[in-house]
Structure 1
Amino acid sequence: MKALRNFFEKTKPHVQKGAKYHWLHSTHDAFFTLAFVQKHTSKSGTHVHDYIDLKRTMGIVVLALVPALLMGMYNIGYQHFGALGQLETAAFFDLFLFGLWKVLPVIIVSYGVGLGIEFIFAQFRGHEVNEGFLVSGMLIPLIMPINTPLWMIGIATAFAVIFGKEVFGGTGMNIWNPALVARAFVFFAYPAQMSGDSVWISASGVEKMADGFTGATPMAEAVLGNTDLNVWNAFIGLIPGSIGETSTLAILIGAAILIITGIGNWKIMLSTVLGGLFMGILLNIFAVNAYMAMPFWEHLIIGGFAFGAVFMATDPVTAAQTDRGKWIYGFLIGVLAILIRVVNPAYPEGMMLAILLMNTFAPLIDHYVVQGNIKRRLKRVQQSA
């Protein structure tokens, strides 16, 4: 590490203003701060200073995503060899390495396209490279089906970075979660890849990924009531679905990491779950069809509900900022996610739309919470006078 730091210190004068390679200043700074803590802090305003900067914060979120990523890789191999009838003869590493082989290109495309655009914008503006895509670059692959073509991942990522973040001013200024913007783009531009009743299970080997076996998703089947959900498989993640969304167990491990480190907001996570349970129970009570009769607790372990509650709804930029607002924000996400699942049979999933909708209303929620606090305090002042 000392040699690497010496390299950065030695090359730093060559990228300063007026130097030959001044146009690489943002790039040089981005790689330096990724490996080392900055030597300076903010010079204006009142701030709390410690060693946890934004890159370190984003790094912890990526670490929390690793269990879901690893389980997703294993599950892809599990589904593949299960479709071939070779599950009993396949070793653990056969399953995992197959999944790794499929997922790795998706991650490379996501980071390559996203960070490339981030660097271009930073160089053009003469600003530091934003750190936010360290997380978004991992979230985008995890919320995509494994059969999504790489070119489609690239286009969706570019759209999310440019129109979901950079047009608003970059990290910290966007009003929607960039990863969900990417998913929404694919959903509306290429609906066959993100909706319907088919999921991809490779059935012809690594060399012919295009050939596959399709079947109804556990999400659709459970909502339709056509099959009994294998609760254990759904909880640990051995069901078809988007790469990182299938394992509730892995997601809970990630949630524990975020809560223990103080990075993730437990109030939003808990209120989202409570909102989902509330709507699920309400629909069970007034059930008039198979959609509404689905056991309320099953909603928490299938689809993208758990992943969205832990990693998407808690995005500190697009979520509500006030304490009371976080409870309201999360609760409404849970309510809307289950409502969209049940009311719209053509789309038996609702977490993406629920979070994006509440991203839009988060500032309004905070506004009314703050105004309510101001009115209560003014009232107390008037009473005391």
Structure 2
Amino acid sequence: MNKLLKFIKKIEPKKGTINHTLYDGLFTFLFTPNDTTTPEGVHIRDRIDLKRTMVMVVLALQLCYLFGTYNIGHQHFQALGIHTGFFNGFHLKLAYGLTKLLPLFIWTHVVGLGIEFYFAWKKGHPIEEGFLVSGALIPLIMPPDLPIWMLCLAVAFAVFLGKEAFGGTGMNIWNVALLARAFVFFAYPTTISGDQVWIAGFENILPGAQVEYGWWQTSFFNTLFEWFGWAQFDPSATIIDGFTGATPLALAYEGGWDKVTEIYSSSQMFWGTIPGSIGETSKPLIILGALMLIITKIGSWRIMVSGLFGAIVMSMLFNLWGATPFMNVPWQDQLLMGSFWFAIVYMATDPVTAAGTNFGKLIYGFLIGMIGMIVRIINPAYPEGWMLAILFMNTMAPLMDHYIVESNMKKRLKSA
């Protein structure tokens, strides 16, 4: 390790250059911080820095990445009526998912990190690590066939106006990943809502529509699979009769829970073998990630638990109202649909944009659960509410913390 440190130190570029900015990012990635507080006083010395805190969140997301990649391919072949069993055509589904997810992941980081590196160089400070998590989250909350140019615009908008305009990492008011999704939703709504966007590989999700394969499928992977004698991609395949690309939420709007269960079982919705955003469908894997964040104390359990209670309470109130079929969906079934688990675990717990006080976190999470469920059920134009709920509560979090701190100070002054 000492030899590696000496070698890295030896190749350090001149300070103030873009090369030194890139070098500093690599150096702090390889080695823990050497600057600590003095032994005297009340300061706590710790080897973990912001970069390693962010890496823990990225690691917790890896199960969602693995499942999301495979589910892209699984939904694609479900539409074709080929390899309909979950593990059937494993190599084809995984290969197809990779061809869809990797471009989203790569371009998200090229644009986002490129902007981060530029601002770090111009400001003359080390590379900030905040985009590690945002860059990992953005591909998981997008449809698999989102045009790359649209993704790049969304990432640039989110990083420029949502982060750097406020001063960079730790200064942003709103969650950067959700801003990217919000940009796509409001600027190009047809690419992120409706029944046509969640199944990759087709111009339209209609019976008889022909699959659209590119060079990766027909040349690279087909040649590779031919060597092993495995099944290959069929460019002449078409969508089978009776297939729908509708998500459970869209079906619930049409006819309540009975309409949903005509297409999807509770087991499918729980395990995540349904259409939806890439990383948001598998509830058990998201919960495993939540446990990891709670055990490592990276994510706030107060926000997660209070958000769950808020969603349940609001759903039960709608059950009592019962004015529409969607309102009558039982609360436990509401939790099987949509992106609630992903939103409350990975989006709402962002330490920069969430409430900072313990009591504030409880209120913050509970209101996200309630507001998100209200938007989901009441607003027919947007069949999910967590993005809007979290962005709204991001805005209100500083005000909540202010009044909670003021209240605590007044109580302590009285006792003094």
Same fold (TM over 0.5): yes
1:298 aligned to 315, 333, 354, which one?
333
1:1-385 equivalences under 5 Å are: 4-12=4-12, 14-16=13-15, 22-41=17-36, 47-88=43-84, 90-201=88-199, 202-203=201-202, 204-207=211-214, 215-224=245-254, 225=256, 226-228=259-261, 229-381=264-416
Assess, with a 3 A threshold, how the Cα gap between structure 1 residues 172 and 46 changes in structure 2: closer, same or farther: farther
Aligned partners of 1:72 and 1:243 also within 8 Å: yes
User: What is the CA–CA distance in structure 2 between the aligned matches of 1:107 and 1:164, rounded to whole Å?
Assistant: 20
Q: Check conservation: 2:150, 2:184, Cα contact below 8 A.
A: yes
Could you tell me whether the CA contact under 8 Å between 1:200 and 1:212 is conserved in 2? no
Query: 1:277-332 CA distances to partner (integer Å, 9 max, x unpaired)?
Result: 00001100111111211111222222111100000000000000000000000000
What is the deviation of 1:31? Answer: 1.1
TM-superposed deviation, 1:227: 2.5
Structure 1 residues 222 and 48 mapped into 2: Cα distance closer, same or farther (>3 Å)?
A: farther
- Opposite residue 247 of structure 1, the aligned amino acid is S
Between the aligned partners of 1:212 and 1:330, the Cα distance in structure 2 is 44
Q: Structure 2: any 5+ residue segments left out of the alignment? A: 203-210, 218-236
* Corresponding letter in the other structure for 1:87: H
Query: For the residues of structure 2 that align with 1:318 and 1:46, how far apart are their CA atoms?
Result: 27
Q: 1:108 to 1:355 in 2, by over 3 A?
A: same
Contact 1:107 1:138 in 2 (8 A): yes
CA RMSD of aligned residues (A): 2.1
Per-residue displacement from partner, 1:43-97 (whole Å, max 9, x unpaired)? 9x97532111111111110000001111101111110111111124743232222
Assess, with a 3 A threshold, how the Cα gap between structure 1 residues 110 and 42 changes in structure 2: closer, same or farther.
Answer: farther
Q: Distance in 1 between matches of 2:52 and 2:152?
A: 26
Between 360-369 and 33-42, the greater mean CA deviation after superposition: 33-42
Equivalent in the alignment of 2:231: none
Q: 3-state DSSP class of the match of 1:15?
A: coil
Letter matched to residue 36 of structure 1: F
Equivalent residues of 1:81, 1:87 under 8 A apart: yes
Change (3 A) 1:300 1:227: closer
Quote how far apart the aligned CAs of 1:25 are.
Answer: 2.0
Counterpart code for 1:54 = L
Q: CA–CA distance in 2 between the matches of 1:3 and 1:71?
A: 39
CA distance in 1 between counterparts of 2:34 and 2:149 reads: 40
| Aligned counterparts of 1:276 and 1:212: Cα–Cα separation in 2 | 40
CA displacement at 1:362 relative to structure 2: 0.2
Alpha-carbon offset, residue 212 of structure 1? 8.9
Q: Tell me the distance in 1 between the aligned counterparts of 2:290 and 2:379.
A: 29
Q: 5+ residue gaps in structure 1?
A: none
C-alpha separation in 2, matches of 1:67 and 1:2: 34
How much does 1:216 deviate? 2.1
Equivalent pair of 2:375/2:385 in contact (CA under 8 Å): yes
Q: Percent identity?
A: 53
State how many pairs are aligned.
Answer: 374
The TM-score normalised by the length of structure 2 is: 0.85
Displacement, 1:249?
A: 1.1
- The one-letter amino acid paired with 1:40 is D
- TM-score, structure 1 as length reference: 0.92
Q: Deviations over 1:111-140 (max 9, x none)?
A: 111000000000011111110001100100
SS in 1 for 2:260: coil
Letter in 2 for 1:267: R
Query: Could you say if the C-alpha distance between residues 324 and 360 of structure 1 is closer, same or farther in structure 2, counting changes exceeding 3 Å?
Result: same
Shift of 1:8: 1.6
Measured in 2, the distance between the counterparts of 1:64 and 1:212 equals: 37
SS at match of 1:148: coil
CA contact (8 A) 2:54 2:129 kept: yes
